[in-house]
Amino acid sequence: MSSARPLTLALSKGRIFEETLPLLQAAGVQVTESPESSRKLILPTSDPGLRLIIVRATDVPTYVQYGAADLGIAGKDVLFEHAAQNPGGLYQPVDLDIARCKLCVAVREGFDYQAAVAQGSRLRVATKYVRATREHFARKGVYIDLIKLYGSMELAPLVGLADAIVDLVSTGGTLRANHLVPVEDIVDISSRLIVNQASLKTRADRLQPLIDAFAQASAA
Ligand SMILES: Nc1ncnc2c1ncn2[C@@H]1O[C@H](COP(=O)(O)OP(=O)(O)OP(=O)(O)O)[C@@H](O)[C@H]1O
Ligand SMILES: O=P(O)(O)OC[C@H]1O[C@H](OP(=O)(O)OP(=O)(O)O)[C@H](O)[C@@H]1O
């Protein structure tokens, strides 16, 4: 690849894009177009040596792992699930402390989760976080039937698909709106900068200052 190619940063639109803008700004980089209004998937920045690509949150590690992006920003939830299929592929130099939330177990109001666990009942758990869920319940010694979903997990206990869900919780508003309650915290989540290993070796002169700028901006 030509060294004239701009560095490529993979982001998902929505909260990660919005929360990354101030970090880029602190690093002296302006982004003038929004992926929501422009619908563009490749966005220029004020730095001709840096462009953004807009991909699904769960696809960010894949773009970085294969070198289609030199770096990216992804939640620990996404990185943990990605690593289950692709161990050891990504360098994670900076916890940016953005998009903070928790991975939690939640159940319908009135469902006695502690009693179900104490009785040794086999639980049906719906989630898109397969690895984190399996590891959590294995640690607790609780047998589960895991039902893989791709979104709207909150619905599953309401319509009898599952006894419990494992999902991200921030304000708790989504759980409350659906008459669910959190019963266990699994892990704190925030987003990390991830870097392609080969890019780090071959493009360190361009990449390292950007990594340092992200580290500085997130620590400020
Ligand atoms: N309510 C929330 N508050 C704070 N951070 C969150 C919240 N929900 C998710 N996140 C974090 O932001 C990341 C991106 O979430 P986002 O909702 O943009 O994508 P997604 O819908 O989970 O992913 P995909 O589009 O691939 O299905 C998540 O991986 C998680 O780390
Ligand atoms: O505790 P809260 O503040 O209500 O946040 C929790 C919600 O946030 C996330 O969904 P998001 O808003 O990203 O929607 P989506 O993942 O379904 O697109 C997550 O999947 C929860 O549904």
Where along the chain do its domains lie? 7-100+190-219, 101-188
Whole-number Å distance, alpha carbon 207 to ligand 2 midpoint, is 32
Neighbours of 173 (CB within 10 A): 9
Domain at 7-100+190-219: CATH architecture:
3-Layer(aba) Sandwich (3.40)
Domain 101-188, what architecture? 3-Layer(aba) Sandwich (3.40)
State yes or no: pLDDT of 2 exceeds 70.
no
pLDDT tens digits, one per residue of 170-218:
999 999 999 999 999 999 999 999 999 999 999 999 999 999 999 999 9
ipTM > 0.90 (yes/no): yes
pTM: 0.95
- Say whether 101-188 and 7-100+190-219 share the same fold: yes
pLDDT at residue 89 in the model = 78
Residue 1 has pLDDT above 60, yes or no: no
Question: Ligand 2 within 6 A of 77 CB?
Answer: no
Q: Is 26 exposed, middle or buried (0-12, 13-18, 19+ CB in 10 A)?
A: middle
Q: How far is the CA of 61 from the centre of ligand 2 (A)?
A: 20
**Confidence bin at 87 (pLDDT 50/70/90):** confident
